[in-house]
Structure 1
Amino acid sequence: MTGQPTVVALDIDGTLIDHDDAMSPAVLDAVRRAAAQVPVVLATGRAWSTTKPIAERLGLPAGGFVVCSNGARTLRYPDGAVVDERTFDPSTVIASVRRYAPNARMAVEDSDGSYLVTEPFPDGDLGVGARFRVVGDDELAPQPVTRLIIRDPEQSESDFVQLAERLGLHGVSYFVGWTAWLDIAPEGVDKSTGLKVALAQLDLDPSGLLAIGDGRNDIEMLTYAAVGVAMGSAPEEVKLAADEVTKSVQDDGVAAVLNRWF
């Protein structure tokens, strides 16, 4: 990229905020300065209901866009109007999970940004303040969904890498999270999917896109951007996919990058 970015895409968890839902003043200031000059698009695995409060905390200007559900939903900010939505039928995956991980908890996003869950998730896992309703497996996905979340607090990250292999996932995209967390998305859908929609709405192209993220679900976004930056605490495969690596969220890595341009 030559010159200042024309648009910035930012992951939320592990990038803007830490595991305690805290955002440093340095990061807040850097994002606000950037957003005063170019569009800033939040690109997250979160639902709209838990993404909007972060956009509000950042003071993002009206008329922008957010990419939620790992790219399956692109919404206008601040009214939450859906610009693009991708769904899939998760019934086959749900059956496979019950076979290979019978104790796993599962969740799907409802259309209003709340969740249907097979049993409660650990506090904060679905986002601070997330709303959920406990249902049986047969009630979990009566219609196509934007994402299926699989979680087992008793398992490790490496266990879930192996689980993804055992499930033999076909016709979907999937991302293994930091903990025992597996996100299932419609086939071919990732954060870059939503960013393409947002950039088209903004009449911009990826040649001016700066993207920052820390998770495996950020890899496609980082490679799509003109400059993709991995956080210092990102898994090695994320760092390898990025153009550069910044400091961790605890050390204000986002601010270190944005302060170079804004």
Structure 2
Amino acid sequence: MNRSRTRAAHGVTGSPAPSPGVVPWLVALDIDGTLVTYDEVLSDAARDAVADVRAAGHHVVLASGRSLISMTPLAAELKIDEGWIVASNGAVVARLDPAAQEGYVLEHVETFDPEPALRLLREHLPEARYAVEDVGIGFRLTEHFPDGELQGKHEIVDFEELWAGDVTRVVVRAPGRTSADFHRLAEAVGLEDVTYAVGWSAWMDIAPMGVTKASALERVRGELGVPAERTIAVGDGANDIDMLRWAARGVAMGHASEPVRSAADEVTAGIEGDGVVAVLRSVLDSRPHG
């Protein structure tokens, strides 16, 4: 069962006003494998392109499977201190606000009871590591994940304590398995009443039913008043497919898998070629795309 809570938005766009007659774009950017490399490197070209798009009055919205607390440092590096963030694959929508105690305000949070999915997966993956997210704090885990994969405070708990309350996200990690194994497992066990996405490694994110980056971005689009035809999304993972289909212009990174590329309207260069930069620059110079 999904449970959500929403705060009233305050009309903060996080970008300078556009020139008269210019309708802003909403540019949704995945992080890992799109904006930064898998080694956490943000290129100068990408940093500058984001700054230039925002300076022109457009809305750059970071949209990631990452937790909120692992996204805010990147936002700070990009000098984004006002605007919107979509975290936890859409379960968390936050508005950056330098006046807020934590630097952000939670505007919408979707939660669910993780017990059924956890019990089912544990039957088939007893060796996996399981975690649930505590928004703005960190994770409760059955055992530690590989270094650097989860940020914030980590509390090791018994498996049954993972469903002590409703959560925004469940993370399943089985280093000895492959992403293909996870896809086969998800299809075989028939996960119900949840939305799941399999990462590039042996990693699965489980969110409330119907909650994706796309559902959260549609909420942000409504708050910003951006026309649906002025939306762009760039991503490279399976959890980006709905987002790419949602956007008027969905762009897949060149290294993305075929299902991701098929969901997009166009394909840019891969992460090593800074493909996101070409997309951002096209927002500014109105080059034809596709």
TM-score (norm 2): 0.86
1:111 Cα deviation after fit: 2.9
Tell me if structure 1 keeps the 8 A contact 2:67–2:135: no
> What is the match of residue 212 of structure 1?
234
Aligned with 1:55 (options 72, 75, 82): 75
Q: Which runs of 5+ in 2 are unaligned?
A: 1-21, 98-102, 285-290
Name the amino acid aligned to 1:226.
Answer: A
Matches within 5 A, 1:34-183: 34-37=53-56, 38-62=58-82, 64-78=83-97, 79-126=103-150, 129-183=151-205
- Give how far 1:5 is off: 5.8
Q: Tell me how far 1:131 sits from its aligned partner.
A: 2.6
Structure 1 vs Structure 2 CA RMSD: 1.4
Contact 1:5–1:210 (Cα < 8 Å) also in 2: no
The reply to whether residue 234 of structure 1 matches residue 256 of structure 2 is yes
Which residue of structure 2 aligns with residue 13 of structure 1? Answer: 32
Q: CA–CA distance in 2 between the matches of 1:149 and 1:29?
A: 33
Q: Deviation of residue 95 (structure 1)?
A: 0.7
Secondary structure of the 1:86 match is: strand
CA contact (8 A) 1:32 1:58 kept: yes
Quote the Cα distance in structure 2 between the aligned partners of 1:177 and 1:71: 15
Tell me if the contact between 1:5 and 1:209 (Cα under 8 Å) persists in the aligned partners.
Answer: no
Moved more, 217-226 or 163-172: 163-172
Q: What one-letter code is carried by the residue in structure 2 that aligns with 1:89?
A: D
The 4+ residue runs of structure 1 with deviation greater than 3 A are none
Q: Distance in 2 between matches of 1:199 and 1:173?
A: 22
Contact 1:47 1:113 survives alignment (8 Å): no
Amino acid paired to 2:123: R
CA distance in 1, matches of 2:65, 2:137: 12
| Conserved? CA contact 1:175–1:182, under 8 Å | yes
Which of the pair has more CA radius of gyration? 2
**1:214, CA displacement in angstroms?**
0.5
Q: Following the alignment from structure 1 to structure 2, what is the Cα–Cα distance between the partners of residues 43 and 7?
A: 12
1:202 correspondence with 2:221: no
* CA deviation after TM superposition for structure 1 residue 166, in Å: 2.4
Give the Cα separation in 2 of the matches to 1:133 and 1:165. Answer: 30
Deviation (angstroms), 1:55 = 0.6
Provide the C-alpha distance between the structure 1 equivalents of 2:152 and 2:236, rounded to a whole number of angstroms: 22
Unpaired runs of at least 5, structure 1: none
The aligned residue for residue 15 of structure 2 is: none
> In structure 2, what is the Cα distance between the partners aligned to 1:164 and 1:43?
24
Judge conservation of contact 1:31–1:58 (CA < 8 Å) in 2.
Answer: yes
Q: Secondary structure in 2 aligned to 1:124? A: coil
SS in 2 for 1:222: helix
Aligned 8 A contact 2:46 2:277 in 1: yes
User: 2:277 — aligned with what?
Assistant: 255
Match of 2:50 in 1: 31
SS in 2 for 1:169: coil
SS of the aligned residue for 1:261 comes to: helix
Q: Give the counterpart of 2:244 among 190, 204, 222.
A: 222
3-state SS, counterpart of residue 132 of structure 2: strand
Q: Which has the higher contact order (CA 8 A, sep 6+)?
A: 1
Aligned partners of 1:148 and 1:119: how far apart in 2? 14
**Count of aligned pairs:** 257
Identical aligned residues as a percent: 44
Structure 1 range deviating more: 75-84 or 91-100? 75-84
Task: Judge conservation of contact 1:100–1:166 (CA < 8 Å) in 2.
Answer: no
